[in-house]
Each structure stands twice: as structure tokens, then as C-alpha cells.
Amino acid sequence: MSQEPWDLPVEEPSKPILEVLIAKYEAAEQARELGICCARMARLLKQIGPFPEASAYGQKAIHYLRQTDDKVELAKALRWACLPFDTSIDQKAYLEESLALAREVGARDQEAATIYQFTRAFTPNPSQSQELSTLNDKDRNNRYGEMRQEYMDGHTVEEALAIYEEINYPTGIAMCLVSLGAERKPSDRALFDRAIALYEQAGEAEAARKARMMADVFAPQNTANS
């Protein structure tokens, strides 16, 4: 499969390349290409910042992709537009639409990615934040947990993992394993080690490095499960 010009690493050097592509496609009024590049920029800035700029590109991507029939790219843009602590949008509605689109077109990798995002993206909206601010620490933590469960709507990392395993998507499997390894009580070193191996086999050296760092924090070798 040929590589598109916007298929770039999610790293700082990709930003100026995307800026050039965005200007090119905007001048040519190519909605699909412009939307895709804006979505890629939103994803990049979601990693490196700044968040307000990422949010602006995310909204622009959705605007242009809604003018096309590319439901897979729209599903991605809706997911990438969900930023930590951004209450300017209804993140749950975005993820629900992303999931519906992925299922409509049978994009199982996108379905799994959106399900995983459901378990990670919760940010209290203004009214929820106001409610939390009136509670003591114990009640606040309990209520926050209830809100997060309502937001997740029954979705779990295990659900996403099962889909990634079904379609044999190594980096998706590894991502889920890292999350599960950190969340298990006690933390599960074996899950981290499997994730690291999958990242290395996929040539994702940076992801493997980060997974190894997390493993050393959450499940050091001397306390690993036997």
C-alpha cells in the first residue's frame, strides 16, 4: 500500500510538513485531504502541545471531513479531538459517534481504538466539576469514580484488547497490555514484558522504551509476579 504524504511519525519534525500540506490543500479547497491533515496535526499536538492549538485543528478536521464520505477518517478525527481537560466539547458524544462510524463501515481497528479511548478520555464537564467542588475528598473521589463509569458506558480495556487480538493488531494489543499491567493489583510485570516484545517486533522502539519505563515504575523486576 502506498504511503500518503500525511502518513508521518507523531513527532515534532512532522509539524512543519503538515503545516505545508494543510496550506496546500486549503488553497486547493480539497476538503478530504485538508480534513485528514488537520486531524493528523491534532493528533500530533495532542502529544507535544499546545492543547488549545490541538483542539482548534481537531475541530477544523471534523468540519471538513463532515463534507466528505470518508467515515473512517471522520471516526479518527472525532477521537483525536478529545483532549484531556477540554470541556469545550461533549467528548462522550464525539466518541459515541466515532464508535458508531467505525462499526458502520466495519473498521475493527478504529472500533477498538475508540473503545480504548472511552476508558481514558473522561474529563468532568462544567456542571460535574461544580458538583465535585462541593464535596469532601472522600465523597469527591467516589463521585468522580461514578461519573467516570457512567462516561465509559460499560466499555473496558479488555473489550478493546479482544478486538485487537481478533484482528492481530500488535501495537494495539501492546497498548492495552500496558494499561492492564499498570491497573492490575498488584501490577503485572508479565503483561508489560509481552507489550514490550510486541512493540519491539513491530519496530516501535520509542513505544517499547516508554513501556519499559512504565514497567519499571509499576512492576519492578524484583517484585514481578512469578
pLDDT in tens, 113-132: 999 999 987 878 778 888 88
Is 110 part of a structural domain of the chain?
Answer: yes
User: Stretch 90-96: mean pLDDT, rounded?
Assistant: 92
* CA atoms within 13 Å, Cβ hemisphere of 147: 19
> Do 4 and 59 lie in a common domain?
yes
> Do 60 and 102 lie in a common domain?
no
Asked which of 21-30, 42-51, 146-155, 188-197 is least confident by mean pLDDT, the reply is 146-155
Three-state DSSP class for residue 56: helix
> Do 108 and 139 lie in a common domain?
yes
Quote the pTM value.
Answer: 0.88
pLDDT in tens, 139-187: 888 888 888 888 888 899 999 999 999 999 999 999 999 999 998 888 8
Residue 104's domain comprises 84-156
> What grid cell was written down for 54?
490541538
> Do 151 and 173 lie in a common domain?
no
Look at the chain and report how many structural domains it folds into: 3
Is 162 part of a structural domain of the chain?
Answer: no
Of 48, 55, 62, which Cα lies nearest the Cα of 9?
48
For residue 32, CA distances in Å to 35, 63, 70, 141 come to 5, 10, 8, 43
Question: Which contiguous run of DSSP H or E holds residue 209?
Answer: helix 205-218
Is 104 part of a structural domain of the chain?
Answer: yes
